[in-house]
Chain A
Amino acid sequence: MSSKTIPVIERIMGANDRVALSNREILDRHGIHAVNVMASPGAGKTSLIASTVKALDSRRAVGVIEGDLASTVDTDRLRAMGVTAVQINTGGQCHLDANQVREGLNALPLDKLDIVFIENVGNLVCPVGFALGEHTRLGISSVPEGDDKPHKYPTIFANIDVLIINKTDLLPYIPFDMPEFHRLVRGLNPDVRIFELSCITGEGIDGWAQWLVDHTPKP
């Protein structure tokens, strides 16, 4: 049986990327700044969103799309603060994809929002490979995770726009070479914007909140 070769040259992430682009168009039409929040479980994704909402002090209206394998723990916490949040339970999928975010966008009152946080599934590996339509890819590292994470997870550090180093209140107790951490991250990602802060004490939050305000169109 004769065989022939057919050229394809098609990106494997093409289908997801097309939906992501369409999500982005919807967000832009509503003047919304979307932030994809990615980090290991426990690094402080929900805490950061909660602290940011407090620090924004109604300067911008926030909505949240919550991604988790199961439960509504994070959504409940945010709703108790008065934040508009929708829950996406992925079942087993270890990251959010563009289709799921579209579901979330359909359920949010987009006309009333300026910022949408997309809290991704806790995972330092998979989420960064899936475009969602976001404007800002935000990664969170936390001090207790250690300062060697850029060595071990270069892909996420190389592909984010903003890096937040959370739990700086623990620096007196945990060996963490901050200048070396910055140097490693900057090596992988020359343009990344880095904020050091502590959600629990509030230190550094205002600087980050101001950046967000400056990068989100006025309502």
Chain B
Amino acid sequence: MHELSVTESILDIVCRHADQAQANRITRIHLVIGELSSIVDDSVQFYFDYLAKDSKAAGAELVFKRLGITLRCENCQHQWEPPSADWTCPSCGIARARVETGREFYVESIEVT
């Protein structure tokens, strides 16, 4: 995933919501990121600090809630968290998995003053 355009998008979303709520400053931003999205938290904070400099979100802390990948076996319906990119079902040994969680990528909420 690409940190710079992701960061621009987050900034756009949070400033819009802060404006709608007539808030002055955003102090904290809560993000929900599934493991399949694979962005690097530190990079996003770094780009964010730079891009948000002159906005309502200047100095805001990004809080990352990481959701792990859970899979459901298409063959036996067993659910598990894969330890690697080998998605073989530990219950029946067939490799045909559906992603239940792990694709999330959204701004959950903002804290404002």
A and B are interacting partners: yes
Q: Are B9 and A13 in contact (CB under 8 A)?
A: yes
Q: Are A6 and B109 in contact (CB under 8 A)?
A: yes
Q: Are A8 and B110 in contact (CB under 8 A)?
A: yes
A6-B18, A10-B13 known; A190 and B98 CB under 8 Å?
A: yes
- Which label, helix, strand, loop or mixed, suits the secondary structure of the A interface? mixed
Q: Which residue of B lies closest to A157 (CB)?
A: B85
Contact partner of A11 (CB less than 8 A), chosen from B18, B74, B106, B110, is B106
Question: Does A9 have its Cβ within 8 Å of any Cβ on chain B?
Answer: yes
Residues of the B chain whose Cβ atoms lie less than 8 Å from the Cβ of A50: none
Nearest Cβ on chain A to B75's Cβ, whole angstroms: 9
Within A137-173, which residues are at the interface with B (CB < 8 Å)?
150-152, 154-155, 158
Contact partner of A129 (CB less than 8 A), chosen from B2, B109, B113, is B2
Q: Are A3 and B113 in contact (CB under 8 A)?
A: yes
Contact partner of A184 (CB less than 8 A), chosen from B18, B31, B95, is B95
Contact partner of B105 (CB less than 8 A), chosen from A13, A94, A125, is A13
Q: Which residue of B lies closest to A4 (CB)?
A: B112
Q: Are A151 and B84 in contact (CB under 8 A)?
A: yes
Q: Are B85 and A15 in contact (CB under 8 A)?
A: no
Q: Are A8 and B97 in contact (CB under 8 A)?
A: no
Q: Are B98 and A12 in contact (CB under 8 A)?
A: no
Residues of the A chain whose Cβ atoms lie less than 8 Å from the Cβ of B95: 183-184, 186-187
Interface string of A108-139 (1 = CB under 8 A from B): 00000000000000000110011000000000
Complex-state Cα separation, A96 to B85, whole angstroms: 26
Complex-state Cα separation, A2 to B83, whole angstroms: 43
Interface string of B69-105 (1 = CB under 8 A from A): 0000010000000001111100000011111000001
Question: Does B57 have its Cβ within 8 Å of any Cβ on chain A?
Answer: no
